[in-house]
């Protein structure tokens, strides 16, 4: 009986702490509910046969470098998440979970082949609800937070599957470890070690001290001083002229209020929103994933339509391009491809979900804060050193919020108007003063949200700036496939905004080995629903745009039909 009782009610127990491990608390922006709830299998398909051992060896050597050792940490929960970092990595306590498999056949003869999305120059949706984990035989790799907490396994996993004419490389990690741009930096550094360019590996930023700890901390308050501290600070909305007293050391510092502070969800409204969220999770738990390929020509038409729509847009929606010398005297309305893509995706998701039409919609446009936080913005000093000499792999994400009073109105509103509204809100909220104001609110409010109780939420992350399709594993090609003449070679390096080609007398010329397909499979903890959200994987070598979206399973067929209708339409 006691054995049955223990089996039913016993709690999982983490392995005993290794005395020689270095223990470091996770940083504030890493240890969040969303990051705890999400893990990824990130799969890249290559047409070349890659050496699995060479890939794993280079990644092992990278993680052994100063600072980078943190990537091999074990994760523990002591009321807050902690990293337990081995002093030395050994075969018994490696820096990564490495597995591999081999199929002595062409990919076309394996069942996996039929499950892979392929572009055919038309707008298409693919059902990617079932992860590739089983098909790739991804056994022994963690999938949920508990899998890391209660085992002596490192944060990063690598699985390589070889066919006679293809290779699949999968990285596994929890979102507490890094974000999309951190993944890009990791891939770049991995390639550098693989090619013998260890000197190009950037210095690791953020070993045991969080450089972002001061973000959102009011002047005069030490980070971590607590809510009872009394800074010499006033809000912009309540500033009054006041002569400094004889004992005052310095005048009060004027702070900006967050632009959406009056829409902060609190009290009864927040309780109702949480109740609606839980109701949806309990009574409609099933979610489906769709991967959508937007051909280059189709997106070109979208871009043309969006800019044409700006001619009828209200002036208060428009953002003007004032940076270009040719437009400085006559600024023109400005949009990016990211704005247009998000506007189009929101319309697609709204069309597919009829229950959303009468309700407000809050859009969370996920931002990479690294460029902003590494740039001086008086009176705020930079918090991060400049890249690419230094690498901050941890989560460094912000949000630009857009509130739509009625989601259904998006279907009648011109595409360019929606894109312009998204661009305007991003420009307003993506300043250092606004990010500081947003983070001050986040420190005072758990699960910060803006809007109303009955709203829907759509979060979107655009990875296109990470240029993930440009990752080049040519140095791991088996048997020198694609090797050209000896002498000056071409190695790919990160020049800041993208990939630059530089000469190297130590590298033989090789044909690039870049992914032809990228498949991110996300796993969410039970009860953490992702419907209405998505991400842009990037732009492939044909110029096609790839996105993934999540939605309630019963609405997935609606999305497929909408894609079919858009594909057959003469206009977009």
**C-beta of residue 401 within 8 angstroms of C-beta of residue 429:** yes
Q: Which DSSP letter does residue 252 get?
A: P
Tokens for 450? Answer: 């803006």
CATH 3.40.50.410 fits 18-106+129-207+465-525, yes or no: no
pTM score, whole prediction: 0.89
Report the pLDDT value the prediction gives residue 224, as an integer from 0 to 100. Answer: 57
Q: Which of 16, 5, 15, 46 is nearest to 163 (CA)?
A: 46
CB atoms within 10 A of CB 88: 9
Tokens for 525? Answer: 């903890």
Q: Which of 28, 34, 25 is nearest to 75 (CA)?
A: 25
Taking the CA atoms of 149, 153, 156 and 158 in sequence, report the sign of the dihedral they define: negative
For 363, the 3-state DSSP assignment is: strand
**C-beta of residue 177 within 8 angstroms of C-beta of residue 26:** no
CB atoms within 10 A of CB 98: 21
Beta-ladder partners of 289: 550
The position carrying tokens 């120059």 is 121
φ/ψ of 205, rounded to 5, equals -105, 130
Residues 32, 497, 509: CA angle, nearest 5 degrees = 115
Report the distance separating Cα 435 and Cα 370, nearest Å: 12
**C-beta of residue 20 within 8 angstroms of C-beta of residue 161:** no
Report the distance separating Cα 59 and Cα 193, nearest Å: 8
Report the distance separating Cα 506 and Cα 492, nearest Å: 13
Q: Which of 46, 48, 71 is nearest to 59 (CA)?
A: 71
Report the distance separating Cα 144 and Cα 172, nearest Å: 11
For 176, the 3-state DSSP assignment is: coil
Contacts of 366 (CB under 8 A, 6+ apart): 397, 398, 399, 459, 460, 461, 462
User: pLDDT tens string for the chain (572 positions)?
Assistant: 444 444 444 578 999 999 999 999 999 999 999 999 999 999 999 999 999 999 999 999 999 999 999 999 999 999 999 999 999 999 999 999 999 999 999 999 999 999 999 999 999 999 999 999 999 999 889 999 999 999 999 999 999 999 999 999 999 999 999 999 999 999 999 999 999 999 999 999 999 999 999 999 987 666 654 443 434 333 443 333 333 334 444 445 689 999 999 999 999 999 999 999 999 999 999 999 999 999 999 999 999 999 999 999 999 999 998 776 555 567 889 999 999 999 999 999 999 999 999 999 999 999 999 999 999 999 999 999 987 789 999 999 999 999 999 999 999 999 999 999 999 999 999 999 999 999 999 999 988 999 999 999 999 999 999 999 999 999 999 986 443 333 333 333 333 333 232 333 344 567 999 999 999 999 999 889 999 999 999 999 999 999 999 999 999 999 999 999 999 875 55
Tokens for 318? Answer: 């428009």
pLDDT in tens, 329-377: 678 899 999 999 999 999 999 999 999 999 999 999 999 999 999 999 9
Report the pLDDT value the prediction gives residue 328, as an integer from 0 to 100. Answer: 58
Counted residue by residue, the chain has a size of 572
Report the distance separating Cα 72 and Cα 98, nearest Å: 12
Report the distance separating Cα 449 and Cα 533, nearest Å: 16
Report the distance separating Cα 43 and Cα 522, nearest Å: 11
E strand intervals along 192-348: 203-204, 233-235, 253-255, 287-294, 320-321, 332-333
Residues 548, 552, 557: CA angle, nearest 5 degrees = 75
Report the pLDDT value the prediction gives residue 78, as an integer from 0 to 100. Answer: 92
**C-beta of residue 74 within 8 angstroms of C-beta of residue 154:** yes
Report the distance separating Cα 460 and Cα 547, nearest Å: 10
Residues 489, 495, 501: CA angle, nearest 5 degrees = 20
Element (H, E) at 504: strand 499-504
Domain boundaries, the chain: 18-106+129-207+465-525
Report the pLDDT value the prediction gives residue 502, as an integer from 0 to 100. Answer: 34
Report the pLDDT value the prediction gives residue 10, as an integer from 0 to 100. Answer: 55
Report the pLDDT value the prediction gives residue 243, as an integer from 0 to 100. Answer: 36
Tokens for 422? Answer: 């998204």
Tokens for 546? Answer: 């790839």
Report the pLDDT value the prediction gives residue 228, as an integer from 0 to 100. Answer: 39
For 493, the 3-state DSSP assignment is: strand
The position carrying tokens 């074990």 is 74
The position carrying tokens 């319309």 is 347
């Amino acid at each position: 009986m006691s054995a049955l009782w223990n089996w039913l009610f016993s709690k999982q127990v983490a392995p005993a702490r290794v005395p020689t491990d270095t223990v470091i608390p996770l940083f504030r922006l890493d240890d969040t509910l969303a990051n705890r709830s999400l893990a990824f299998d990130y799969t890249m398909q290559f047409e070349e046969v890659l050496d699995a051992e060479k890939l794993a060896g280079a990644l092992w050597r990278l993680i052994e470098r100063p600072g980078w050792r943190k990537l091999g940490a074990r994760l523990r929960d002591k009321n807050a998440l902690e990293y337990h970092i081995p002093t030395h990595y050994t075969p018994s306590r490696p820096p990564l979970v490495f597995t591999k498999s081999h199929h002595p056949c062409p990919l076309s003869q394996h069942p996996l082949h039929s499950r892979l999305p392929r572009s055919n120059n038309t707008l298409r949706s693919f059902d990617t609800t079932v992860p590739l984990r089983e098909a790739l035989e991804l056994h022994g790799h963690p999938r949920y937070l508990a899998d890391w907490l209660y085992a002596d396994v490192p944060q990063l996993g690598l699985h390589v599957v070889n066919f006679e004419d293809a290779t699949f490389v999968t990285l596994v990690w929890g979102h507490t470890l890094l974000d999309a741009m951190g993944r890009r930096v990791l891939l770049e550094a991995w390639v550098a070690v693989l090619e013998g360019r260890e000197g190009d590996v950037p210095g690791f930023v953020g070993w045991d001290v969080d450089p972002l700890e001061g973000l959102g901390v009011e002047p005069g308050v030490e980070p971590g001083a607590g809510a009872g501290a009394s800074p010499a600070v006033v809000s912009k909305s309540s500033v009054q002229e006041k002569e400094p007293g004889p004992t005052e050391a310095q005048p009060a510092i004027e702070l900006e209020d967050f632009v959406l502070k009056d829409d902060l969800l609190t009290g009864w409204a927040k309780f109702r929103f949480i109740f609606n969220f839980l109701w949806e999770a309990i009574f409609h738990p099933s979610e489906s994933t769709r991967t959508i390929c937007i051909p280059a020509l189709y997106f070109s038409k979208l871009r043309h339509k969006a800019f044409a729509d700006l001619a009828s847009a209200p002036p208060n929606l428009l953002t003007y391009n004032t940076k270009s010398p040719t437009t400085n005297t006559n600024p023109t309305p400005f949009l990016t491809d990211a704005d247009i893509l998000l506007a189009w995706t929101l319309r697609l998701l709204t069309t597919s979900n009829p229950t959303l039409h009468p309700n407000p919609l809050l859009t969370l446009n996920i931002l990479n804060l690294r460029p902003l936080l590494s740039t001086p913005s008086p009176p705020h000093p930079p918090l991060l050193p400049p890249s690419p000499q230094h690498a901050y792999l941890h989560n460094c994400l912000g949000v630009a919020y857009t509130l739509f009073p009625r989601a259904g109105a998006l279907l009648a509103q011109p595409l360019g108007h929606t894109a312009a509204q998204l661009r305007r809100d991003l420009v307003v909220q993506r300043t250092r003063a606004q990010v500081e104001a947003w983070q001050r609110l986040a420190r005072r409010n758990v699960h910060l949200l803006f809007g109303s109780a009955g709203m829907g939420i759509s979060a979107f992350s655009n990875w296109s700036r990470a240029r993930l399709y440009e990752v080049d594993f040519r140095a791991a090609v088996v048997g020198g496939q694609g090797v050209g003449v000896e002498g000056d070679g071409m190695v790919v390096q990160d020049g800041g905004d993208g990939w630059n080609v530089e000469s190297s007398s130590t590298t033989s010329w090789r044909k690039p080995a870049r992914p032809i397909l990228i498949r991110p499979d996300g796993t969410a903890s039970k009860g953490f629903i992702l419907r209405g959200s998505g991400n842009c994987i990037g732009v492939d070598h044909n110029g096609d745009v790839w996105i993934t979206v999540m939605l309630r399973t019963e609405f997935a067929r609606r999305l497929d039909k909408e894609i079919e209708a858009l594909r057959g339409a003469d206009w977009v």
